[in-house]
């Protein structure tokens, strides 16, 4: 009986973790120890051709040994994508550091950049714009 209760307790603790992880879809691994995800639940259609989506860059392994320095652990980016012409722009960046501090940057000059072939942005464009292309 104790074994069943113990098993059920562990199972219930793992359910929220699995549910939270389902929203983030990995689409790129640009360097060793870094992974980039997009939040499939955050995709918002701004117009008939422009969408917004939250991205997350995480360090999957700790490459740093100098504990006296602050390093970037996670970065969340609000990205806008024009699904009709394959252009993207950054709206906001939120940085989360290993020491627990956070920084946020919003951009006034919102220039569009082309998502070229073979890039991580082109891969993201292909994944999230499939339902929004004109």
β-bridge mates for residue 39, sequence order? 24
Cross-strand bridge partners of residue 92: 78, 106
pLDDT (0 to 100) of residue 67: 56
- State which residues of the chain have pLDDT below 70: 1-22, 60-70, 132-134
Domains and CATH numbers, the chain: 24-128 (2.40.128.710)
pLDDT for 99: 83
Instruction: Give the max Cα distance, the chain.
Output: 63
- Report the DSSP beta bridge partners of residue 44: 52
Per-residue pLDDT reduced to its tens digit, 74-108: 999 999 999 999 999 999 999 998 888 899 999 88
Give the per-residue pLDDT at 73.
Answer: 84
């Amino acid at each position: 009986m104790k074994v069943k209760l113990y098993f059920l307790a562990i199972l219930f603790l793992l359910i929220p973790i699995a549910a939270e992880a389902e929203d983030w879809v990995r689409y790129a691994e640009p360097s060793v120890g870094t992974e980039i995800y997009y939040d499939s639940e955050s995709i918002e259609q701004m117009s008939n051709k422009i969408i917004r989506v939250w991205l997350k860059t995480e360090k999957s392994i700790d490459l740093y040994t100098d504990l006296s320095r602050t390093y970037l652990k996670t970065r969340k980016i609000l990205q806008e994508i024009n699904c009709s012409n394959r252009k993207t722009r950054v709206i906001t960046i939120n940085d989360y550091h290993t020491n627990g501090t956070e920084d946020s940057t919003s951009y006034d000059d919102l220039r569009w950049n082309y998502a070229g072939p073979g890039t991580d942005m082109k891969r993201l464009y292909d994944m999230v714009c499939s339902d929004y292309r004109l």
